Amino acid sequence: MAGHGSKLARKQEDAIAALLSQRSIEDAARVCGVGARTLIRWLKLPEFRSEYLKARREVVQQAVARMQQATGAAGTIALKLMTDPNVPAAVRLRAAEFVFDRAIKGIEIDDIEARVSELERAAHTSEGSRR
């Protein structure tokens, strides 16, 4: 979009912004002042589609970052639900399952990272011995 080294026309940049914020292609077309057929045609252009997908990825990455920032609060809530005797047993059980699941996934990720690091070290050592 503007400022990202884009070679798109201003109207196309507006169309990308509209596609990201509206519920349908028709709504996006109306907001940016082009016909729906024009917008559909633009979506088939490699440069436009590439810029649109890049902008979409940026929006998702920002949303993921916001979710990651909230993980502390989410963990606190899960632990409170799990330990509060006034919470129904089914909810406490589900919270406990959630805590176990996340703890196990954390260990699995640590194990995978260690294995990948070891493989990278081995590959680097192997490359160095071939030279």
pLDDT of 31 reads 96
**Residue numbers of the domain that contains 56:** 10-68
Structure confidence by residue, pLDDT tens digits, 33-52:
999 999 999 999 999 999 99
Asked, for residue 100, whether it belongs to a domain, the answer is: yes
Over range 3-12, report the average pLDDT: 75
Q: Do 30 and 80 reside in the same domain of the chain?
A: no
Say if 41 falls within a structural domain: yes
pLDDT tens digit sequence for 90-100: 999 999 998 89
Asked if 77 and 126 sit in the same domain, the reply is: yes
Residue 86 shares a structural domain with residue 123: yes
Residue 22, both tokens: 């509206």
Residue after which a domain boundary falls, among 22, 45, 68: 68
pLDDT at 9: 93
Instruction: Tell me whether residue 2 is in a domain.
Output: no
* Cβ within 8 Å of residue 102, ≥6 positions away: 75
Cβ atoms of residues 26 and 36 within 8 Å: yes
Domain assignment present for 5: no
| 34 within a domain of the structure (yes/no) | yes
- Cα–Cα distance for residue pair 99/68, rounded to 1 Å: 16
Q: For 39-88, how does the pLDDT look when each residue is reduced to its tens digit (9 = 90+)? A: 999 999 999 999 999 999 999 999 999 998 998 999 899 999 999 999 99
In-domain check, residue 35? yes
Number of structural domains, the chain? 2
Q: What pLDDT band is residue 8 in, cutting at 50, 70 and 90?
A: confident
Question: Residue 1: what pLDDT?
Answer: 46
Domain boundary among 27, 50, 68: 68
